Chains A and B, each alone.
Chain A
Amino acid sequence: MIRRILQLLSPGQIKRSFLLGTKSLWMHRLRSLLTALGIVFGVASVIAMLAIGEGASFEAQEQIRQLGSQNVIVESVLPTDSANDEADQSRGIEYGLKYRDLRQIQNTIPEVRLTVPAKKQQSSVWHGAWNVECEIMGTVPEFFDTRGLKLRRGRLFSPLEMEDRRNVAVIDEGTARKLFPLEDPIGSSLRVGADYFRVVGILEQVGGGNAGKEGEQNADLGRLLVPLSAFLERFGEINVKRRVGSVTTEKVEIHEFTAMVRDVEKVVPTANAIRRVLAMNREEGEYRITVPVELLKQAEKTRRIFNTVLGSIAAISLLVGGIGIMNIMLATVTERTREIGIRRALGARQGDIVFQFLVETVLLSGAGGVLGVALGLIVPAVVGHFTGMQTLIQLWAPTLAFSISLAVGILFGIYPAMRAARMNPVEALRHE
Chain B
Amino acid sequence: MPKPIIELEDVWRTYEMGGEEVHALAGIDLRIDEGEYVSIMGPSGCGKSTLLNVLGCLDQPTAGNYRLAGEEISELDDDTLSLFRGRRIGFIFQSYNLIQQLSVLENIEVPLFYQGVPEADCRARAVELAEQVGLTERMDHRPNELSGGQQQRVAIARALANEPVVIFADEATGNLDSKSGDEILAIFEDLHQRGRTLVFVTHDEAMAERTTRTIRLKDGVVRVDTASGLGSGDEEGAAL
Residues of A near any B CB (own CB < 8 A): 9-10, 12-13, 16, 20, 23-24, 27, 338-339, 341-352, 425-426, 429
Contacts and interface: CB of A to CB of B under 8 A. Distances in A.
B29 interface: no
B101 A347 contact: no
Contacts of A10: 116, 118
Given A338-B97, A425-B58, A429-B97, A349 B116 contact: no
A13 B158 CA distance: 18
Interface string B91-127: 1010001111110000000110111101100000000
B58 A346 contact: no
Chain A, interface SS category: helix
Nearest to B54: A426
Contacts of B93: 429
Nearest to A352: B114
Interface of B: 53, 56, 58-59, 78-79, 82-83, 85-87, 91, 93, 97-102, 110-111, 113-116, 118-119, 158, 162
Contact of B82 (A13, A344, A429): A344
B79 A349 contact: yes
A426 B58 contact: yes
A347 B58 contact: no
A296 B204 CA distance: 88
B119 A12 contact: yes
B99 A347 contact: no
B50 to A, nearest CB: 9
Contacts of B98: 342
Contacts of A24: 101
A210 to B, nearest CB: 65
A155 B125 CA distance: 83
Contact of B83 (A338, A347, A429): A347
23 contacts: A23-B101, A24-B101, A342-B98, A342-B110, A343-B99, A343-B114, A344-B58, A344-B82, A345-B56, A345-B58, A346-B111, A347-B82, A347-B85, A347-B162, A348-B86, A348-B114, A349-B78, A349-B82, A349-B114, A350-B82, A425-B59, A426-B59, A429-B97
B53 A426 contact: yes
Contacts of A352: 82, 114
Given A16-B113, A346-B111, A349-B79, 6 more contacts: A341-B97, A345-B91, A346-B86, A346-B110, A352-B114, A426-B53
A342 B97 contact: yes
Most B-side CB within 10 Å, residue of A349, A350, A352: A349
A350 B91 CA distance: 19
A347 B114 contact: yes
Per CB-CB distance, the 4 closest pairs between chain A and chain B, nearest first, are A347-B86, A347-B114, A349-B82, A346-B111
A225 to B, nearest CB: 74
Contacts of A346: 85-86, 91, 110-111, 114, 158
Contacts of A351: 79
Contacts of A429: 58, 93, 97
Contacts of A13: 113, 116
A343 B101 CA distance: 13
Contacts of B97: 338, 341-342, 345, 429
Contacts of A349: 78-79, 82-83, 114
Nearest to B101: A27
Contacts of A20: 102
Given A13-B116, A429-B93, A350 B79 contact: yes
Given A347-B87, A347-B111, A342 B118 contact: no
A339 B99 contact: yes
A425 B114 CA distance: 16
Contacts of B82: 344, 347-350, 352
B59 A350 contact: no
B59 to A, nearest CB: 5
A9 B116 CA distance: 7
B91 to A, nearest CB: 5
B32 to A, nearest CB: 19
A13 B83 CA distance: 16
B157 to A, nearest CB: 12
Contacts of A341: 97
A16 B114 CA distance: 11
Contacts of A344: 58, 82, 85
